A and B are shown apart, each in its own frame.
Chain A
Amino acid sequence: MEKVIKGKAFVLGNNVDTDQIIPAEHLVYSLSDPIESKNYGKFAFSGVPIKDAGLPLGGVPFIVGNNFTSQFNIIIGGSNFGCGSSREHAPFALKVAGVEVIIAESYARIFYRNSVDGGFLIPYETGIKLNDKISTGDDLEIVLSDNKLRNITKSEEYDLNPLGDILPIIEAGNIFEYAKLNNLI
């Protein structure tokens, strides 16, 4: 993929679970109604304890006021991102809020599958601990074809793990498009 994604980083710690991404009480809104589903963006990351939101300093709201989109479109996580429940509302909420890419050391299986099969966002893995190198608000650039992450603010470059088996699904759009292209359905 030749695509380049640019934007601002929002940095989080390890084990960001699905209740932090979208608290269970909000799982009642329609995901298909264009107006109602904006609530998922509004409450994205609202379960993150405020001291852990937007590292290294913390205390940075992901969503300001009554907005449903965030100024941050690239999430830098630690290990085990998206652990906890199976709710697909989690990657969906991040997409509604404007997130395009997550970069983390590892993911929980169901969150990872949901992100890819539902076509919501790209879950990149990295062998480097990035959440102590990148600061919330840093300007980042990802060139998907060479699996590189550039930190424009800090003039640094980091390697990302190739997407491997999931790349064809991401390129197709979601699991249904992939299955159609490959005559599976």
Chain B
Amino acid sequence: MQMTITEKILSKSAGKKNVKPGENVWLDVDVLMTHDVCGPPTIEIWKKEFGENAKIWDKDKLVIFPDHYIFTKNSHANRNVEILRQFAKDYNLPNYYDVGTADYKGVCHIALAEEGFNLPGTVLFGTDSHTCTSGAFGMFATGVGNTDAAFILGTGKIWERIPESIKFVFNGELPKYLTAKDLILQVLGDITTDGGTYCALEFDGEAVFEMDMNERMTLTNMAIEGGAMNGIIKADEVTMNYVKARTYKPYEIFESDDDAKYKSIYNYDVSKLEPLVAKPHSPDNKDTVRNVEGTKLTKCYIGSCTGGKLSDFTNAAKIIYGNRVKVPTFIVPASTLISRQLEEEKFNGISLKQIFENAGCYIAQSSCAACLGGPSDTIGRAVDGEVVISTTNRNFPGRMGSKKSDVYLASPLTVAASAIRGSITDPRDYL
């Protein structure tokens, strides 16, 4: 039987020879990831259901990154981090990355990759919708709620429906004014926010395999914005080299059979695509940057699991170099490693950090920050009447704070160019 990469990984995890889309199966989970917003309620449900003597199915497979509401005075948010800290202490957890210590990493999806938890062929569940990011490593990764996570925490198992797959093939060479973000905004405009519901989005084509892992993660990260269960890219040399530098754990590489069945296949010639935005208030509200050029902005934001990776800042720095920003512009590295890389990586002999500081940007500490609004003292949070352009993932009403704000989603190149003019600007004007 011919299968897609997603079907092959899930059939292995289910202990079956083959699986078909629509079939419900019980999966063996390789890694469970949680964070400060959903970790505490997950732990409560686990204790309630499995009793005071509840056992974690496999401590090595549980990974906890506090990352959402970190640099805030909100006492309830701080209490959540304290609950995680105590839990990690009580159960002597090997993979807890505490706030305020050298272990602190920042945004979970990026930290999972950096710390070597993303392994081709494995199955990852996380209490966050952007868990699909890890699919860039040729693995199955998806988000669940607290109850499902509590079930996994106690049993290492969960039920899932085998998804149909939709394939997106990006042919050709990516022009220098486009990034993975433009490609995924194109996809979302084409399939809409529910076009991928209960499906796997598989990304293929030479333009994808030319990308580094950072850029590949931008594609799989926003699979959820199309409603998908997972996004996936088969592992290649680039993946293997990234993994090898971080862990010795074994893994298995799967790829789709030539005549595997797809719900649909989309082919793109990337040389013909344009820099894009998602206009308010939906990630599928696609338009070209040219069409909205000149829209006045109050804030620019480069950060999050989607747009706060090293490649996002290298791209932004290329444009911001030697310029001043006209509106408040926030640089929020997804992880503490990326924060350090901003000091080490150089463009024209100057560190990225220095380039952003010289331009007048605010550089924030690593966390999810204003991508999801957060408590009222969150840095970069959108207030009433603001018009923001952001490299983040969602622009539903109120996502970045006030529901009376407008958020445009775009690539780091477009956000950087827009920051210089204070209005939405095509990056080709600066490249």
A residues engaging B (CB < 8 A)? 15, 17, 19-20, 23-25, 27-32, 47-49, 79-80, 83-89, 106-110, 113-114, 117-119, 165, 174-176, 179, 184-185
Complex CA distance for A175 and B376, rounded to whole angstroms: 35
Binds A, one of B176-184, B329-337, B397-405: B397-405
What residues of B have a CB within 8 angstroms of the CB of A88 in the complex? 38, 41, 145-147
Which of A23, A24, A30, A113 lies in contact with B145, CB distance below 8 A?
Answer: A113
Report yes or no: A29 in contact with B76, Cβ–Cβ below 8 A.
yes
CB neighbors of A among B386-418 (8 A): 394, 396-399, 401, 403
Task: Using known A-B contacts A19-B397, A87-B37, A185-B155, determine if residue A113 contacts B144 with beta carbons closer than 8 Å.
Answer: yes
- Closest Cβ of chain B: how far from A177's Cβ, in Å? 9
Complex CA distance for A79 and B195, rounded to whole angstroms: 11
Report yes or no: A117 in contact with B154, Cβ–Cβ below 8 A.
no
User: In chain B, what residue has the closest Cβ to A49?
Assistant: B397
Report yes or no: A84 in contact with B146, Cβ–Cβ below 8 A.
no
A-B contact pairs, 16 of them (CB 8 A): A17-B394, A19-B398, A20-B396, A28-B37, A30-B76, A48-B397, A80-B227, A85-B129, A86-B129, A88-B145, A89-B41, A108-B197, A113-B148, A114-B148, A117-B151, A184-B155
Tally of B interface residues using CB under 8 Å = 51
Report yes or no: B394 in contact with A84, Cβ–Cβ below 8 A.
yes
User: In chain A, what residue has the closest Cβ to B228?
Assistant: A109
- Closest Cβ of chain A: how far from B140's Cβ, in Å? 14
Contact code string B274-310 (vs A, CB < 8 Å = 1, else 0): 0000000010000000000000000000000000000
Report yes or no: A86 in contact with B373, Cβ–Cβ below 8 A.
no
Complex CA distance for A23 and B193, rounded to whole angstroms: 19
Complex CA distance for A110 and B77, rounded to whole angstroms: 23
Report yes or no: B197 in contact with A106, Cβ–Cβ below 8 A.
yes
Q: Is B229 an interface residue (CB 8 A)?
A: yes
What residues of A have a CB within 8 angstroms of the CB of B145 in the complex? 86-88, 110, 113-114, 117-118
What residues of A have a CB within 8 angstroms of the CB of B49 in the complex? 176
CB neighbors of A among B121-161 (8 A): 126-129, 131, 143-148, 151, 154-155, 157, 159
What residues of B have a CB within 8 angstroms of the CB of A17 in the complex? 394, 396, 399
Report yes or no: A19 in contact with B396, Cβ–Cβ below 8 A.
yes
User: In chain A, what residue has the closest Cβ to B160?
Assistant: A113
- Closest Cβ of chain B: how far from A97's Cβ, in Å? 18
Which 4 pairs between the two chains have the least Cβ-Cβ distance? A88-B145, A28-B76, A114-B145, A80-B194
User: In chain A, what residue has the closest Cβ to B48?
Assistant: A32
Q: Is B69 an interface residue (CB 8 A)?
A: yes
What residues of A have a CB within 8 angstroms of the CB of B131 in the complex? 86
What residues of B have a CB within 8 angstroms of the CB of A107 in the complex? 197
Complex CA distance for A182 and B34, rounded to whole angstroms: 27
What residues of A have a CB within 8 angstroms of the CB of B117 in the complex? none
Task: Using known A-B contacts A47-B398, A86-B128, A87-B37, determine if residue A28 contacts B375 with beta carbons closer than 8 Å.
Answer: yes
Which of A15, A23, A86, A89 lies in contact with B398, CB distance below 8 A?
Answer: A23
- Closest Cβ of chain B: how far from A144's Cβ, in Å? 21
Task: Using known A-B contacts A49-B397, A176-B151, determine if residue A109 contacts B24 with beta carbons closer than 8 Å.
Answer: no
B residues engaging A (CB < 8 A)? 24, 26, 37-38, 40-41, 44, 48-49, 68-69, 74, 76-77, 79-80, 126-129, 131, 143-148, 151, 154-155, 157, 159, 193-194, 197-198, 227, 229, 282, 372-376, 394, 396-399, 401, 403
- Closest Cβ of chain A: how far from B127's Cβ, in Å? 6
User: In chain A, what residue has the closest Cβ to B394?
Assistant: A84
What residues of B have a CB within 8 angstroms of the CB of A174 in the complex? 147
User: In chain B, what residue has the closest Cβ to A115?
Assistant: B145
What residues of B have a CB within 8 angstroms of the CB of A184 in the complex? 26, 155, 157
What residues of B have a CB within 8 angstroms of the CB of A176 in the complex? 49, 147, 151
Which of B24, B38, B74 lies in contact with A165, CB distance below 8 A?
Answer: B24
Complex CA distance for A51 and B41, rounded to whole angstroms: 33
Complex CA distance for A185 and B343, rounded to whole angstroms: 50
User: In chain A, what residue has the closest Cβ to B196?
Assistant: A109
Report yes or no: B148 in contact with A117, Cβ–Cβ below 8 A.
yes
Report yes or no: A175 in contact with B148, Cβ–Cβ below 8 A.
yes
What residues of B have a CB within 8 angstroms of the CB of A110 in the complex? 129, 143-145
User: In chain A, what residue has the closest Cβ to B80?
Assistant: A28
Complex CA distance for A32 and B40, rounded to whole angstroms: 10
Complex CA distance for A27 and B145, rounded to whole angstroms: 13
- Closest Cβ of chain A: how far from B151's Cβ, in Å? 6
- Closest Cβ of chain A: how far from B58's Cβ, in Å? 16
Which of B38, B197, B396, B397 lies in contact with A87, CB distance below 8 A?
Answer: B38
- Closest Cβ of chain B: how far from A31's Cβ, in Å? 5
Complex CA distance for A19 and B282, rounded to whole angstroms: 12
Which of B127, B146, B148, B374 lies in contact with A24, CB distance below 8 A?
Answer: B374
User: In chain A, what residue has the closest Cβ to B396?
Assistant: A17
User: In chain B, what residue has the closest Cβ to A33?
Assistant: B44
- Closest Cβ of chain A: how far from B221's Cβ, in Å? 13
What residues of B have a CB within 8 angstroms of the CB of A117 in the complex? 145, 147-148, 151
Report yes or no: B151 in contact with A175, Cβ–Cβ below 8 A.
yes
Which of B79, B147, B198 lies in contact with A114, CB distance below 8 A?
Answer: B147
Complex CA distance for A109 and B199, rounded to whole angstroms: 10
Report yes or no: A31 in contact with B24, Cβ–Cβ below 8 A.
no
What residues of A have a CB within 8 angstroms of the CB of B375 in the complex? 25, 28
What residues of A have a CB within 8 angstroms of the CB of B398 in the complex? 19-20, 23, 47
Task: Using known A-B contacts A24-B374, A28-B74, A117-B147, determine if residue A109 contacts B397 with beta carbons closer than 8 Å.
Answer: no
Report yes or no: A185 in contact with B154, Cβ–Cβ below 8 A.
yes
Which of A47, A79, A86 lies in contact with B127, CB distance below 8 A?
Answer: A86
